[in-house]
Structures are given as C-alpha cells and as structure tokens.
Amino acid sequence: MPTRRHASPAGTRSSRELRLGRELRLGLAPLALTLFGLACQPEIGDPCKRSLDCSVQVTRQCDVSNVPNDPNSEGECTLENCSLGVCPSEAICIKVYATEFISVSCDPELEDLPNAEGEITSDACLPHEVCLPEGLCADELRARTSCRRECKSDSDCRDNYQCLRVGSGGVYVAPDPDDPEKQTSAKICVPE
C-alpha cells in the first residue's frame, strides 16, 4: 500500500521545499554577483592603480603611463587592442602611432596610388608604413589601439585631464575596416 504524504501545516514548509529554496538561492547568487559586477564596472578613463581596479575579469587595463604626472599617482582604465565600434558607450577606439619613428615626409593624396598610366609615382613610405594625413610616414606594425574616454569639453574629463581633438601627431580614431580611407573626427580625454 502506497504511503501517503502528509501536507505541511499551514505556514510551514517541508524540508524538501526548504532545500529547493536554498538551492535556488545558491544557484542565483553567482548570477546576481556577475550582473552586479558588470553594472558596477568602472568606465573607460576612470582612475586606477592596477588592472583589477578596471575589471574583475581583467579585460580592461590600467594605463599607468601618466602616473608620474598625476597628482594622485593614478592611471586610467583602458581597453587595449580595440577596433572601431567595440568600445563601451563612453569611449571610442583610438589608434596611436609611435611618434619617435615619424620623420619621413610623404604626400597622403598620392602615396602608393597609381597615376593614369598605372604607375606609382609617390612611394616615400616603407611597405610596413602608412602615410598619415599630416604628411609623415608612420610604422603600422608599432601602432596600438585602445578605447579612450570620449568627450565634448574639459568638464567631461576627470581632474588633471583635458578634452582634445584627435587627428594629428600620430593619434587618430581607429579606421573603419569597411572604409579604411575615411577619416573620423573625435575628442578624447588626455592628461594635461
């Protein structure tokens, strides 16, 4: 004869119900912590001392290159090796060419482009270099990309940072892979 289960008295729970409730809470805890962690993640450009200050998963880095000039000895949170369109909403992908290697003049309107006869008449840059809009050859292999805080004015930047337009001096918005010739303009927060 099958055993009958007795219903729990009103207002109490069976040990099975309590166990299921506890398992459900324990199962949801990691999800809640993950969502909380993502919601509270520092933004690009926020101050940091180490990469863990920028991301628990260490997907963002702490750029400490300006620490000697920062009054609080802090760097800024960045996301390295980006491409156009992958940065968080507060940031834009910037490509920086190593300025110590920018010295050879070139014509950005003619460099590596064939004339009417199909001949290349301007080839000042080496094969691994590009001709920047200001007319200088830059080493493409040494160029680095990173997400940087986008701004409209100095008030959008943290203390000791200013809002400057990129597009010269080896600092540009990363090119669009679908239209690499298109020059995009932007302003980013940079150390003063």
pLDDT tens-digit series, residues 96-136? 998 776 778 988 888 777 777 877 777 888 888 888 888 89
User: What does the pLDDT read at residue 36?
Assistant: 46
Q: Tell which residue, 97, 58, 98, has the closest CA to residue 78.
A: 58
User: What does the pLDDT read at residue 174?
Assistant: 93
CB 146 within 8 A of CB 62: no
Lowest-confidence region among 19-33, 44-58, 125-139, 144-158: 19-33
- Give 18's pLDDT tier (boundaries 50, 70, 90): low
CB 44 within 8 A of CB 78: yes
DSSP letter for 138, please: E
The residues, any chain, with a CB within 8 Å of residue 39's CB and separated by 6 or more, are none
User: What does the pLDDT read at residue 143?
Assistant: 92
Q: What is the mean pLDDT of residues 70-99?
A: 92
Q: What percent of the chain has pLDDT over 90?
A: 35
Is the pLDDT higher at 112 or at 25?
A: 112
Does residue 1 surpass a pLDDT of 60?
no
Q: Tell which residue, 147, 134, 139, has the closest CA to residue 174.
A: 147
Q: What is the mean pLDDT of residues 1-20?
A: 57
CB 138 within 8 A of CB 101: yes
Cα–Cα distance measured from residue 83 to residue 95, given in angstroms and rounded to the nearest whole number: 9
Determine the 3-state secondary structure of 31 from DSSP: helix
Lowest-confidence region among 34-38, 95-99, 143-147, 172-176: 34-38
Q: Is 102 left (phi over 0), alpha (psi -120 to 50) or beta?
A: beta
User: What does the pLDDT read at residue 81?
Assistant: 94
CB 145 within 8 A of CB 80: yes
Pairing of strands 137-139, 161-165: unpaired
Does residue 78 surpass a pLDDT of 90?
yes
Average pLDDT score, the chain:
82
